[in-house]
Amino acid sequence: MGTSPEAYVLVLLCLFLSSGHGIQALSYDYYATTEARKYFLSCLKEPQRAQYGGGIIANPEFTNGIEGWSVFGKGAIKGGVSEDGNRYIIAHTRTHSLDSFSQKVQFEEGKIYSFSAWVQVKNGSENVVVVFRRASGELIPGGRVTAMDGCWSFLKGGIVANFSSGPADILFKSNNTDLEIWVDSVSLQPFTMEQWRSHQDQSIHKERKRKVKFQLSHPNKTMEGAIVSIKQTRPSFPFGCAMNNAIINNKNYQNWFASRFKYTTFVNEMKWYSTENVQGRENYADADAMLKFAEANGIHVRGHNIFWDDPKYQMDWVKNLSPDQLRVAAEKRIRSVVSRYKGKLIAWDVMNENLHFSFFEDKLGKDASAVYFALARQLDPGTTLFMNEYNTIEESGDGTANPANYIRKFKEILSYRGNDGVSAAIGLEGHFGPNQPNLAYIRASLDTLASTGWPIWLTEVDVKGSPNQAWHLEQVLREGHSHPGVKGIIMWALPAAAGSADTTLADINFKNTPSGDVVDKLFNEWKFKTTEIKADSEGSFEVSLFHGDYDITIKDQFTNSSTYLNYKLTEHDIRDTLQVHVNAF
């Protein structure tokens, strides 16, 4: 059995009335406390207790030796005991990557399964992947961790059972068969979609709103019965959408966009291949015109991107440069684009997709990304700098861009000289396929990434077409908005009038598609609805507000005199109930 921590993770308990099963108490892990963060990022001498008491796992903490577990493949398994008496399981004498221990569990179609375990390997360091093997032989990866010798690392992930109910084996995969795999405190907890949604709603209420108690006062009269009107003028959570150059001359597109979104990213117009397609001939006309439109309509813009590490998107003239010539051209590029838009943007995607690709690193050395982060900071100090990547939350089977690798790479960049204290953030593109999004893996990945303390943005959210596209988009957006580590969401979507896109929000006449209906519904749901309240006998009233800017009008119902107040509620005040005193009339 693992040791009980003094502070493991911040636990949020929500009660959910499950049809036919009464009230169930659900616990969800969060990274939020400083003490809790180390459990995601550090190796521990002893593992922690199994989440959810192990869920549906038999003998999850190996209290009864290896009872309930069996060998898989051609290796061997045995029990282990630490100096402190903690018991765990060991796979050894392995010849194949999947040779390990296993336990058969029953999956129910449509349920979400949160998985976790504590892992280490003997005599080395190696990625260990949890894999679910269905009766058909299909292997479904559910998460991974870089395990090390001498300490325990936390593997957190999961799957969604978008397949027929039936049995599956839990396996642990490691490509280095010379290493023993040690595992303890295994947990697999099922949730219905309704339970998952219930927690999302409660988390949004906790993380994006606050109770505010207003106390009205007047030196000469009571404020009982005063009528207070509250109107939200701007939400503080950035929820936006990409735009492209079709907006420059299309008034309908402009009206459609400006009426909905206050945050954006230009699809192509700031990229190097758009601004200098021919060497030495820079053209910022489209980007300038789009920025002018954004500024005129109070729309904040993310700079996307300074460099793209994918060789496929380099111009031929760039590919043909020598390393010295490329170094000169790249410095000219970054100085040109960043200086041009200095102070006008809320962010820069400094290096795009440099976990999957390494064009600049291959040509200019392994520190190329770090060098350009330092230069971007020098040219535009204070603007938040992102490393932007795909498949970190979308695909549990993509080992290249998994959360552990993302954190490792970003730490390397930020530890480079000149990058100390830089305003940095995690950029997760969020390009999802046509199938059910793996909400358990998304949440586990966000938990791991958020444990670093860096803010997270979902920067390019879209979902490929399917009959359930709108529903899948809603699930992704709700999962992002409900996670306390996520500080902004930009959708990679367009109206049909702007060209083709995986996710289209409006048809050629700017009428909503089903996905557009989802976006409008969420906008309405995630904002405070204008309301009137009467002050009580003490001249006070309490209201739950989303973070954002508000216009408040206080009217004396007898004299019709009024007081007007601008109020800003920020996420930084974490008190359960805020007290606001207002001297009226």
Which residues are within 8 A (CB) of 243 and not within 5 positions of it... i.e. 6 or more apart? 257, 264, 265, 266, 267, 290, 494, 498
78 CA to centre of own chain: 38
AA letter at 139: L
* Torsion, CA 410, CA 416, CA 422, CA 424, rounded to 10: -10
**The one catalytic residue among 353, 394, 429, 479:** 353
Which bin fits 386, alpha (ψ -120 to 50), beta or left (φ > 0)? beta
Residue 451 contacts residue 31 (beta carbons within 8 Å): yes
Which residues are within 8 A (CB) of 334 and not within 5 positions of it... i.e. 6 or more apart? 306, 307, 372, 375, 376, 379
Q: 430, 431, 411: which is closest to 422 by C-alpha?
A: 411
How many CA atoms within 13 Å lie on the side-chain side of 110? Answer: 4
323-340 vs 368-379: helix axis angle to the nearest 10?
Answer: 30
Which residues are within 8 A (CB) of 10 and not within 5 positions of it... i.e. 6 or more apart? 29, 30, 31, 32, 33, 36
**DSSP track, 371-421:** HHHHHHHHHSTTSEEEEEESSTTT-TT--TT-HHHHHHHHHHHHTSTT-TT
SS3 of 368, please?
helix
Q: Determine whether 109 is an active site residue.
A: no
Residue 145 contacts residue 404 (beta carbons within 8 Å): yes
The C-alpha angle 433, 436, 442, rounded to 5 degrees, equals: 85
Q: Determine whether 126 is an active site residue.
A: no
Alpha helices in 29-96 (DSSP H): 34-41
Residue 72 contacts residue 169 (beta carbons within 8 Å): yes
* Torsion, CA 527, CA 532, CA 535, CA 540, rounded to 10: 10
**The one catalytic residue among 61, 429, 460, 479:** 460
How far is the C-alpha of 18 from the C-alpha of 23, rounded, in Å?
Answer: 6
How far is the C-alpha of 445 from the C-alpha of 389, rounded, in Å?
Answer: 13
Residue 221 contacts residue 158 (beta carbons within 8 Å): no
**Catalytic site residues?**
353, 460
